[in-house]
């Protein structure tokens, strides 16, 4: 299987020192995953299972011990390769409170990617920022504010807007709704679905919340202990889980009957 963005056989270990002895713990153990154009891939698993690590490796924030990241079938190796990848792949961080520079106004933070990549005339950048803020459901006046004047949900939208400023083809979202209130969660998820349809984005959506993933993703990968233990179409995995861990996960959902129907069945 090949995709637009692909991680192939990634291994990442961290050194852990306990009682003076250093051992290496595999956070990601021979993991491969790929995302197709326009597809929403869900990556689920408990915290510490390596899902954040693999996603960070795919955007180059962390480096793999072995394995390759491929973009459009080409291995991403040099700094220039990563720069090219990041022009089209963007990343939204888990914690909306630390992912924005506290001293930079929202408008400046959103305009910055345009300035760096010399996109658009300086005069039209403010306009683009306002449009993007509206697209993620924020008032254009937010541009004049500082991050600490916004709520968590608003900040997460700003982060999303900032990642979208470069009009990426693929967006990696790391637990972006887990810190939000349930009502705001629903809004952000709806927003992601709308954006995906409108812009034809591919999404890698990472979450420990199965309901959220089921709502959003057409394909699901289940990670456990640094390995992918099960993957397949969303319905297949949720309706007929093969791996014991997936079954435990599903059984842990408080009320299984109230799991919302998958969104992609509603759409078309």
Could you list the residues that contact another protein (CB under 8 A)?
59-61, 83, 86-87, 90-91, 93-95, 97-104, 112-113, 116-117, 134-135, 137-139, 141-142, 144-145, 148-152, 154, 159, 162-163, 165-166, 187, 190-191, 193-194, 197, 267
Q: In angstroms, how far is the first alpha carbon of the chain from the final one?
A: 25
Nearer to another protein, 73 or 102 (CB): 102
- State the Cα–Cα distance between residues 25 and 4, nearest whole angstrom: 30
* Residues found in the chain: 268
Nearer to another protein, 24 or 139 (CB): 139
Least distance CB 225 / another protein (angstroms): 25
Least distance CB 100 / another protein (angstroms): 6
Q: How many helices (H) and strands (E) does the chain have?
A: 10, 10
Least distance CB 198 / another protein (angstroms): 8
Residues 228 and 220: beta-carbon distance below 8 Å: no
* 175: its two tokens: 């637990």
Nearer to another protein, 9 or 197 (CB): 197
Least distance CB 156 / another protein (angstroms): 12
Least distance CB 47 / another protein (angstroms): 16
Nearer to another protein, 100 or 203 (CB): 100
When computed from its CA atoms, the radius of gyration of the chain, rounded to whole angstroms, is: 19
Positive or negative torsion for Cα 115, 120, 122, 124: negative
Cα–Cα separations (whole angstroms), residue 109 to 92, 96, 151, 160, 177 = 14, 14, 17, 12, 21
Nearer to another protein, 150 or 249 (CB): 150
């Amino acid at each position: 299987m090949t995709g637009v963005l692909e991680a192939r056989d990634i291994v990442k270990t961290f050194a852990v020192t306990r009682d003076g002895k250093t051992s290496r713990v595999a956070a990601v153990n021979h993991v491969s995953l790929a995302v197709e154009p326009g597809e929403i891939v869900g990556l689920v698993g408990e915290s510490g299972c390596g899902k954040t690590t693999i996603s960070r490796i795919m955007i180059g924030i962390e480096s793999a011990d072995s394995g390759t990241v491929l973009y459009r079938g080409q291995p991403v190796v040099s700094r220039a390769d990563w720069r090219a990848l990041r022009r089209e792949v963007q990343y939204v961080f888990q914690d909306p409170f630390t992912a924005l520079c506290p001293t930079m106004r929202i408008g400046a933070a959103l305009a910055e990617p345009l300035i760096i990549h010399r996109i658009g005339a300086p005069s039209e950048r403010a306009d683009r920022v306002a449009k993007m803020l509206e697209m993620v459901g924020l008032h254009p006046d937010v541009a004049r504010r500082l991050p600490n004047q916004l709520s968590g949900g608003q900040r997460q939208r700003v982060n999303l807007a900032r990642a979208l400023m470069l009009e990426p083809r693929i967006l990696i979202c790391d637990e972006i709704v887990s810190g939000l209130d349930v009502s705001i969660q629903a809004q952000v998820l709806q927003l992601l679905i709308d954006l995906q349809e409108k812009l034809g984005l591919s999404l890698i959506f990472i979450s420990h919340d199965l309901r959220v993933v089921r709502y959003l993703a057409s394909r699901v990968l289940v990670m456990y202990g640094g390995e992918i233990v099960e993957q397949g179409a969303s319905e297949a995995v949720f309706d007929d889980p093969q791996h014991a861990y997936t079954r435990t996960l599903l059984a842990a959902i408080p009320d299984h009957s109230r799991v919302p129907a998958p969104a992609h069945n509603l759409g078309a």
